[in-house]
Structure formats: structure tokens, C-alpha cells
Structure 1
Amino acid sequence: MDTGLRHTVLLQPRVWRPGSPEEAWSLKHTFGTDGVYISGGTLLRTQWESGAAAVPAHLIDLSAIGGISGISAAAGHMTIGALTLLAALRKDSSIALHFPLLTEAVRSIAAPSIRNLGTIGGNAVSSAGDAIPALLVYGAELAMYDGGRTTDVPIADWLTDGGSCPPSNRQSPPHQLLLQIKLPFARSGDSAKGDGGNGHPLPQPAKRFGAFHKIGRREAFTPSVVTAAVSGGLAKDGRIHGLRIAAGGGQTVPRRLTEAESVLEGKRPEPDALAALYEAVLAQYKPCGDSFADADYRRTTAANVIAASLWREAGGARVEEEASCC
């Protein structure tokens, strides 16, 4: 037998198909780092084929578990099952209506063939998925099962469990299983948490705005250099309230850029304020460099994209309103 083929055969993992979260967690608890949760497996296969992660001895296939796929509305929030396909999420009209940045983020992920296999849960627990900035600005919570109970954890808190650059094979710590993603509905005159995430009350906005950007080396089917999402409200006097900014890209763990948000919170998106925002993004955003794009390039790109996006979505809208009424 050819040496390479023999090596491949020896690396074939054993596949387990639990029928419940309890059984899946028990298997993971038993195997530890030798066992990996898997559903679509699109990212994991890429890592194994490139040598970025070792092929595990055991695959815990989650696809037979019922009740953790699909999209539904509940009191105050939308629930997305972790096994919901990216393709299904992109086509869902309720998500497009209430959480359009997530629809746009999912649209930018890979090719249709990948979106027909990949799941939103896999994208989220990768710690560097392109959909995460949108989930961050919407204040998403992760329903995590730990073997005894299910706990809702803000995705922003879950992402702080580690550095800016995650190991390529990171999964939920230590054996937790993601069951659902919960997105709170925005309330009139308020954000999901009663403020913009900075302790500033959000008055009734004259306009709400938001944008998602994925910057790559080509137009489509490309690894991200930067992913960024912005969301907020524009009051009648042109001041921004409830501003949320999140950025990631490549293997960078996406984060809320709260210091940059504070720079523009309660201010009009005028040149001096946007220049200060630009500098704040440069200071707070800590991307991971690689052979595809170094850290400085990613940082400058993020600052440019975020500042330009806020001018276009908030500043530009203010100019249009003034022109139309005077």
C-alpha cells in the first residue's frame, strides 16, 4: 500500500451519531480533545486538508439531534437553531426583515455549495466566522448546553474566552454544545438592552441604520481580510445614538469596538468626529496577520471601511434629509 494512502486510512476517525444533546455531550466528555462536534463540517475539512488542525479520532455528528435547527419567533427574540443551514438562514424573510445585517453576512460566506452544507452554529463556534460581527451588533446570545443545563451566554462574553487569534481547532469550552442562537428584537426608541451598549439611552430615532462589509482580495468566494458591522440610530438633530460596531476578519476573533463607539456616541457624524473614530478603530482593533494580509493592512482597512460606512449610512442620510427639506 502506498505510504500516503496508508497514512490517510489510519487517520479515518470513528463517527458517532447521538440522538440528543445529552448523548452528544456525554460523548464529548468521554473523548475530550480526541472528539470533535461536527455537522456540516465545511470549515473543519478545510483545516484538516491544509494541516491547520489534526484529524480527530472521533467525530460526534450532531445532524441526528432533533429540535436544534430552524428559525422561530418567541417573546422578545428570534431563535435560530445551531444546525440551521446558512442557505436557509439567508432565504428567511423574518431574518431579512428584523436582522438584515445577518442576512448580508451569510450571503458573503463562501459559495452556494458551502452554504448548503455549513451551519450558523459552526460559523459561530469557530470564533472567527464571518457572521459573528453581525451577531455582535445585534446582541446575540448563545444557548449553551453543559451536560446539566442550558445557559444563555452573550456572544460577546463567550468570545472573550481566549485571545484575538484562536487555535484553528477551538470549540466551545470545555465540552459545551451550542443549541441555539437568540437575537433580541429591537424595541421602539430603544435597543435590545435598553441602551446602545455604552450606557447611553437611545431616544426615539428618526432613522435607524446598519451596514455589513466583508473585504477580500476579490469580489466573491474569498477569505476575508476584514469583516465589519455597524448599527445605530440617528436622532432628528443628526446625532448618533445606540451605536454598535464590531469587526473581525481572517482568523481574528471578532470584537465589539466599544471605545470607538463611545467616540461617536451622541455626536453628529461630521469630519472631525469621523477622524477621531478612525483613530479609535486603529487603536482598538487588534487583527491577526497571516500570509494573506498582515495586521497593519487589516487594521487600516477596518478603520477606512467603518468610518466610510458611518459617513454613508448616517452622515450621508443627514445630508439627503437636509437637501430634501430646504
Structure 2
Amino acid sequence: MASEQEEIARFPSVLHPRDLAEAWTFKRLFDTEAIYVAGGTLLRTQWESGVATMPRQVIDLSSIPGLTGIAADEDAIAIGALTTLGECRNDPLLIEHYPMLVEAFKSIAAHSIRNSATIGGNIASRVGDCLPALIACRAEFEWCTGLSQLRESASEWVERLHVQSPKPSNLLTRIFLPFMNQNRTAPVKFGAYHKVGRREAFTPSVVTVAMSGSLKPDGAIKEVVIAAGGGQTIPQRMHAAEKALKGRLPDRELLIEVHGHVEKQFVPKTDPLVSDAYRRKTAANLVAAALWREFVREEGEGYGAKQID
């Protein structure tokens, strides 16, 4: 039987930084032997399942001021990284301006988990189900890098993850969502978020896709962002599909072309239960179906813009 000392050694020690600078210093000092923790819901699951190794130290961010809450200025909605998914789901600003993102929050875990899990933790996992939606919403992330702040788009961040590891000491502090369609002459918007899991509710994702864009006066697509992820896959921009859609009026032939681009470009991680081929096909089906619903008024009536309020 393990001694009391051995049992205690199984669990990490907890560091309680007073501010961002101290948290960043702890991480720089202990490097891979320490990890930032807020809600910790996903980390506990990974430790228990053996997916991730329990570190020697955890850096508890919960006492650092200024990392919670949702507020708006003239240009963007700012979300503190320690704001819970439950708060994000019920926030009036997000419901009004980013209903697609709210749908993503609703699809993550159960109610009790969303009341503890933070948006920053979902992002920092690199495979969180809200990430495709944040990419499609053109979100920007603000990171504490020690003595300064770094701000980059969600799209740029995930694309860097595919080619290099980010500095582990960098600490996510805020998420910015730009205001769109702020006057009556702004372009019509469209958007969609879909998650497929192995059962109907409270399930890990197999595939998640999100898209958003704007239209020209004639109904052609002016701008579009499409992202796909799910499971243990770091989300990816579907650049070829975006390029094919830009400047064109969607029709059956175009959707077939887009389907092919997504199926070819999406490179998901496989696992013993779901193959990468299934994930690619599912992502392509979800994107094509979402575009069909957005632009087909009724069977046989042709295509047109449908505004999302």
C-alpha cells in the first residue's frame, strides 16, 4: 500500500499568482512541469483518462483580477479568458451579435460543466469545440507574453499551431469579437455552426464546422470564412472552399465543388472509433448542407440571401 507521502506526491502542488506577471513568471520558471489552470474541467478528464500527464505544479489563475466578464466598446466585444462557458451562453451581447457562437457554447458539455469550464480553457486546449466558431467570427486573442501583450487573430493562431508549438508561458487574457453590420448599409451576413457527436447530447465532438460571411447586393458571396475541427483535431481554415465561393452565386454545381474542396483539404486526427475518412466526408457534408440551407429558399426556387439577425 502506498505511503501517505507517496499518495500526496501523486497530486500537483498549486501555485496562486497575484497577477499576470507572476503567473507568467511561474510558468517560465517551471516550464513543462507546470500548467495554467482555471476551471480545469477538460484537464481533469485528460489526466483521469491518461491522455495527458499530470504536472508537478498547477498555476491557479482564478484569483487574478481582470480576467472575467464580457463588455463592449465601439469596436468589439471583449470576453475575459476566465469567463465561464455558461456566462458566455447567456450573455445578452453575445446572443444579439454572435448567435452562432452562442450555439457553439450550448453544444459543449453539460450545464454543470459549462458553469465551471472557461472560454480560455476551451481555447487553450487547442481542440475546443468553440474554436471553429471563433475563427469564423473573426475573433482575436490577446496573450500576456511577460512584459507586453500580443494580439493575433484566432485564424492565425491555429494556423501557427499546425507548424510550430506556441510559447507555453504565453497566457490568454481576453478574446475580442469585432462588431459587424453596425449600420443599415452594411452587407447582409450569413453564418452556421454544426457539431456531430456519437450521441445526441453532452458528447465529445467527431466533427465541428463553422462559417460566416457577407453578401454583395446581387446575392453573390463577398467574404466567407469556413473552419472545421472536432475530436483531437486542431481546427483548420478551408481556404480552397472559401476561394471557390468568393464572388459567386451559390448553385448546385458550386456546392458540389465546395464539398470536394473540404473533403480534400480537411486533415483530421483519427482514433480507434472514427476514421479520418469519415471525418472528412462528414465535414464536407456539413459545409455543403449549411450553404444549401442558407441560400436555397425552397426546393426548386433557386438561390437567394437569408439574413441572420
Please give the TM-score of this superposition, normalised by the length of structure 1.
0.87
Deviations 1:173-216 (A, max 9, x none): 231011000111114589xxxxxxxxxxxx953x4211100011
Query: Which residue of 249, 261, 281 corresponds with 2:262?
Result: 281
% identical equivalent positions = 45
Tell me, yes or no, if the aligned pair for 1:209 and 1:314 is still in contact at 8 Å: no
State the number of aligned residues.
303
Per the alignment, residue 182 of structure 1 pairs with 176
Cα distance in 1 for partners of 2:260, 2:125 equals 29
Of residues 236, 240, 243 in structure 1, which corresponds to 2:224?
A: 243
Q: Is the 8 A contact 1:204 1:235 kept in 2?
A: no
CA-CA distance at 1:238 after TM superposition: 2.8
Supply the RMSD in Å over aligned alpha carbons.
2.3
Deviation at 1:235, TM superposition (A): 3.5
CA distance in 2 between partners of 1:281 and 1:63 (Å): 39
Q: Would you say 1:105 and 2:104 are equivalent positions?
A: yes
Quote the residue 1:48 is aligned against: 47
Distance 1:316 1:234 in 2: 16
Distance of aligned partners of 1:189 and 1:303 in 2 relative to their CA distance in 1, 3 Å threshold? farther
8 Å contact kept, 1:124–1:132: yes
- The one-letter code sitting in structure 1 at the alignment partner of 2:229 is G
Superposed, 1:18-29 pairs within 5 Å as 18-29=17-28
**Unpaired runs of at least 5, structure 2:** none
Q: Deviations over 1:89-143 (max 9, x none)?
A: 0000100111111100010001111101100000011111000011101111111
Deviations 1:237-285 (A, max 9, x none): 3312211111100011112212111111111110100000000101111
Residue in 1 aligned with 2:31?
32
Report 1:39-188 matches (<5 A).
Answer: 39-163=38-162, 173-187=167-181
Q: Distance in 1 between matches of 2:203 and 2:57?
A: 30
- Does 1:253 find its partner at 2:247? no
- Paired with 1:240 and 1:321, the residues of 2 have a C-alpha distance of 11
Deviation at 1:161, TM superposition (A): 2.8
Give the drift of 1:12. 1.0
Distance 2:280 2:83 in 1: 32
8 Å CA contact 1:212, 1:230 repeated in 2: yes
Consecutive unaligned residues of structure 1, counting only runs of 5 or more, are: 191-202
Question: How many angstroms does 1:154 deviate by?
Answer: 1.2
AA at the equivalent of 1:268: L
- The structure-2 alpha-carbon separation of the partners of 1:181 and 1:128, relative to structure 1 and needing over 3 Å to count, comes to same
Secondary structure (helix, strand or coil) at the match of 1:247 reads strand
- Contact 1:231–1:243 (CA<8 Å) still a contact in 2? yes
Which residue matches 2:249?
268
The question of whether the paired residues in 1 share the 8 Å contact of 2:251 and 2:303 is answered with: no
In structure 1, distance between residues paired with 2:158 and 2:149:
18
Mapped to 2, the partners of 1:121 and 1:105 lie a distance apart of 14
Distance 1:321 1:68 in 2: 42
Structure 2: which amino acid aligns with 1:229?
A: A
SS in structure 1 at match of 2:17: coil
Supply the distance in 1 between the matched residues of 2:40 and 2:97 (Cα, whole angstroms): 28
Q: Which segments of structure 1 move beyond 3 Å, counting only runs of 4 or more?
A: 5-9, 187-190, 316-322
Whether the 8 Å contact between 2:250 and 2:303 is mirrored in structure 1 is: no
Q: Tell me which amino acid in the other structure corresponds to 2:179.
A: F
Given that 1:282 and 1:303 are in contact with CA atoms closer than 8 Å, whether structure 2 keeps it comes out as: yes
> Shift in Å at residue 315 of structure 1?
2.9
**What is the distance in 1 between the residues matched to 2:139 and 2:59?**
26
Q: 1 CA distance for matches of 2:257 and 2:304?
A: 24
The residue type equivalent to 1:41 in the other structure is: G
Q: Structure 2 CA distance, aligned partners of 1:295 and 1:316? A: 33
Most deviating of 245-254 and 233-242: 233-242
Query: Per the alignment, do residues 209 and 59 of structure 1 end up closer, same or farther by CA in structure 2, a change over 3 Å counting?
Result: same
How far apart, in 1, do the equivalents of 2:281 and 2:220 lie? Answer: 26
Give the letter aligned to residue 241 of structure 1. K
